Amino acid sequence: MTITIGLPSKGRMKEDSSAVLARAGFTVTAVGNDRSYRGRVEGRDDIEIAFLSASEISREIANGTVDFGVTGEDLVREGLAEADARVEFCARLGFGHADVVVAVPEIWLDVDTMADLGDVAADFRARHGRRLTIATKYWRLTQQFFSGNHGIQLYRIVESLGATEGAPASGSADIIVDITSTGSTLTANHLKILSDGVILKSEACLVRARKAEHAGDPVVAEIIQAVRGAL
Amino acid sequence: MPLVNLPAFAPDLIADLEKLGTERVDTPVIQPAEPFLDMAGEDLRRRIFMTESETGKSLCLRPEFTIPVCLRHIETATGTPKRYAYLGEVFRQRREGSNEFYQAGIEDLGEPDVARADARAVHDALAVLKNRLPGRKLSVVLGDQSVFEAVVAACGLPAGWQKRLVHAFGNQAQLQKLMAALSNPAPSGTFGPEVERLAIFGTLDDEARLIAHIDETMEATGYSTNASRSPADIARRLREKMELANTRLDGRTLALLKEFLALELSLADAPRALAAFADKAGLSLGAALARFESRVAALSETGVDLADITYRAAFGRPLDYYTGLVFEIAPEGDALVLAGGGRFDRLLTLLGAKERIPAVGFSLWLDRIASVKGQAA
């Protein structure tokens, strides 16, 4: 059986993924030219590489069209319901660090914890005639964190696909759930992260589709072991 | 074409609802999604079937009847009191069971005699079920959000805490977690560095100065002072939070709340037990207890056997529009809920009614009733 690994198709993530695989003994080369979306591993006919856009990788793993993928944990957990039942996080690769966080305007001097936010949300309608709004592209993570972990139900999500951190100042949402690596964009927009508002500490991971035929496959075991050994 | 799985007993059930003096209404299957998400919260999004109109309006398949019936009432503006009955298909994403199933029920809007309307809701739900399940013993669990609110208020807890506790009512795990947190609050890290800086300058002691400071900061950082929380809102809650920072839920109050939440007994004995609890604890539950008693009296006048009803103090629904009575009916010795209902005095105002309309209602799960009937056959 040929094992397929999905890798990010461009940018820093592509270089870092290839570097980790190279350290693990799998030298990735593009088939044809550099811009090709197919790749191979030197000296290995039993491994194929598929270069995919970052957001596609989690979906392809879930569908089982690739056996492994390198992608951010945030994208997998946001993209898939019951992620742990469908995929295995085999290794955390040490790059692509980003936290998914709950951030509120700095000037909300009275709000520093999720409990504070729960209080504000509970009587938001009574005071403002509408629910507290959250701008985010992370619907699933937000719902799990707010409803599941903190019992906060009374809010509305406003979908935001870009420049989310500008939403509170522009008035299109009250607070945000977004990704941050250094926090500088949040600070520039006068936002602060709640003290218990880190939803997920994400980084690039080697992720395996949970497929029955992987059991006892020596190549699958070899890839996991080699990548873990290279970290 | 006949609708999917409409139970054979539906026409009889409709006749029963009509005999109870209700007006039958129907509502469109395709509904605006906003009111449901607004009332029940974002969590509902995963459980309903949503789509979008060509113009980008969020729509959903009717997940329940209460909100559509209330919206229809507000639109048609036909005055109160009104007792509406419905029977139709609802659509929800469920892990178990079909995604489309039938519900029927009654929404009783604008009856000023609250005790009578509450009693009638429980009575009618039981009567309809008994007609469909002759000979089957049914048990009712009954709770009352307003009694819990009265207990929390009588304990003299700070307003902010009362709000939190009432908000968590009905969600056991959340309520336990909250009571533990209030008994043993985190010692530090709840105020940011900016608050400490303001404290040093004495800005926090003077509310007007604090509001002015927040206002200036918002202007300077490009935040609109009226789009979201205003400077006055933030200042007020900051002072409230500071007052609470050094308080904790004392052992006696915690024990009282736990004792109250553990109450579970026959409804016939509940008024006496609640009065005894209030006496022993030295709490005055006044109006809430009186309302509870008159509901029990009204229920017994309807002929319902109070022995079939269990009062459980911790039973509630964590939705902010339920205001008093909540109840569920299941076959005795079975957890399968056949009917659920409650009082929602805030809902119609939240949905846009001009005047306050007290309301109570219940809905029946026809697929479950059919399965219980099947067991018997």
pLDDT tens by residue, A212-230? 999 999 999 999 999 999 9
Query: Which long-range CB contacts under 8 A does A19-28 form with residues at least 24 apart?
Result: A20/A70, A20/A93, A20/A95, A20/A206, A20/A227, A20/A230, A20/A231, A21/A227, A23/A230, A24/A223, A24/A226, A24/A227, A24/A229, A24/A230, A25/A226, A25/A230, A26/A223, A26/A226
Lowest mean pLDDT among A169-183, B121-135, B313-327: B313-327
Yes or no: say if A207 and A89 are a contact pair by the CB < 8 Å rule: yes
pLDDT of residue A181: 87
Looking up residue A116, the CATH number of its domain turns out to be: 3.40.190.10
For residue A177, the tally of other CB atoms under 10 A from its CB is 25
pLDDT for A7 beyond 90 = yes
Are A29 and A102 within one domain? Answer: no
pLDDT of residue B227: 83
Q: Can you name the CATH fold of B1-137+332-377? A: BirA Bifunctional Protein; domain 2 (3.30.930)
For residue B35, the tally of other CB atoms under 10 A from its CB is 18
pLDDT of residue B274: 95
Average pLDDT of B273-285? 92
pLDDT for A2 beyond 70 = yes
Average pLDDT of B247-270? 92
pLDDT for B187 beyond 60 = no
pLDDT for B67 beyond 70 = yes
pLDDT of residue B9: 94
Average pLDDT of A67-82? 94
Average pLDDT of A17-34? 90
**Confidence tier at B363 by pLDDT (50, 70, 90):** very high
Are A139 and A74 within one domain? Answer: no
pLDDT of residue B170: 85
DSSP of A115-138: HHHHHHHHTHHHHHSS-EEEEES-
Task: Tell how strand A204-209 and strand A175-180 pair up.
Answer: unpaired
Are A63 and A127 within one domain? Answer: no
B304 in helix, strand or coil? coil
Shortest distance between the Cα of A223 and any Cα of chain B, in A, equals: 36
Parts of chain B belonging to CATH 3.30.930.10: 1-137+332-377, 138-172+250-330
What residues in B contact A115, CB-CB < 8 Å?
A: 164, 181
Average pLDDT of A167-183? 92
**Confidence tier at B189 by pLDDT (50, 70, 90):** very low
What residues in A contact B192, CB-CB < 8 Å?
A: 109, 112, 192
Lowest mean pLDDT among A31-45, B22-36, B123-137: A31-45
- Nearest neighbour of B241 by CB, restricted to A110, A171, A195: A110
Domain count, chain A: 2
Alpha helices for A50-153 (secondary structure H): 54-63, 73-79, 83-86, 114-122, 124-128, 139-143
So what's the architecture of B138-172+250-330 in CATH? Answer: 2-Layer Sandwich (3.30)
* Closest alpha carbon to B12 in B135, B132, B107: B132
Average pLDDT of B116-131? 97
pLDDT of residue B137: 94
Instruction: Specify the DSSP element, H or E, that contains B108.
Output: strand B100-109
pLDDT of residue B15: 96
Rounded to two decimals, the pTM is 0.83
Q: B207-220 vs B231-245: helix axis angle to the nearest 10?
A: 130
Are A178 and A104 within one domain? Answer: yes
Question: CA of B146: how far to CAs of B58, B154, B268, B314, B317, in Å?
Answer: 34, 12, 19, 11, 12
pLDDT of residue B164: 84
Q: How far, in Å, CA of A218 to CA of A210, rounded?
A: 15
Range of the domain at A222: 3-97+203-229
Q: Which residues are CB-contacts of A218 (< 8 A; sequence separation ≥ 6)? A: none
Instruction: Specify the DSSP element, H or E, that contains A196.
Output: strand A191-202
B361 bridge partner residues: B107, B342
Cβ-count burial A202-226 (b if 16+ within 10 Å, e if not): bbbbbbbbeeeebeeeeebebbbee
Are A7 and A55 within one domain? Answer: yes
Determine, for residues B241 and A123 on separate chains, whether the beta-carbon distance falls below 8 Å: no
Average pLDDT of B308-335? 90
pLDDT of residue B186: 63
Pick among A108, A123, A170, A192 to test the B interface (most B CBs inside 10 A): A108
How many CB pairs below 8 A link A and B? Answer: 103
Q: Tokens representing B113? A: 């005699």
Determine, for residues B227 and A113 on separate chains, whether the beta-carbon distance falls below 8 Å: no
Yes or no: say if B309 and B142 are a contact pair by the CB < 8 Å rule: yes
- Nearest neighbour of B46 by CB, restricted to A115, A128, A143: A143
Q: Please report the ipTM that was assigned to this predicted complex.
A: 0.84
Q: How far, in Å, CA of A119 to CA of B179, rounded?
A: 15
pLDDT for B377 beyond 60 = no
**Confidence tier at B1 by pLDDT (50, 70, 90):** very low
Shortest distance between the Cα of B350 and any Cα of chain A, in A, equals: 9
Q: Which positions 46-75 of B are in contact with A (Cβ < 8 Å)?
A: 46
Are A147 and A196 within one domain? Answer: yes
Q: Which residue of A has its CA nearest to B36?
A: A156
Q: What percent of chain B has pLDDT over 90?
A: 65
Determine, for residues A119 and B164 on separate chains, whether the beta-carbon distance falls below 8 Å: yes
Tell me whether B41 touches chain A (CB under 8 Å): yes
Determine, for residues A153 and B318 on separate chains, whether the beta-carbon distance falls below 8 Å: yes
Average pLDDT of B127-156? 94
Are A106 and A69 within one domain? Answer: no
pLDDT of residue A90: 96
**Most confident listed range (A22-36, B192-206, B225-239, B295-309):** B295-309
pLDDT of residue A189: 93
Q: Which positions 138-157 of B are in contact with A (Cβ < 8 Å)?
A: none
Average pLDDT of A58-77? 94
Are A137 and A79 within one domain? Answer: no
For residue A1, the tally of other CB atoms under 10 A from its CB is 10
Q: Which positions 185-214 of A are in contact with B (Cβ < 8 Å)?
A: 190, 192, 195
pLDDT for B197 beyond 60 = yes
pLDDT of residue A220: 94
What residues in B contact A156, CB-CB < 8 Å?
A: 37-38, 42
pLDDT for B29 beyond 80 = yes
pLDDT tens by residue, B82-122? 999 999 999 999 877 789 999 999 999 999 999 999 999 99
Q: What percent of chain B has pLDDT over 70?
A: 97
Are A23 and A89 within one domain? Answer: yes
Which residue has 């056996």 as its token pair? A67
pLDDT tens by residue, A107-151? 999 999 998 999 899 888 888 888 999 999 999 999 999 988 888
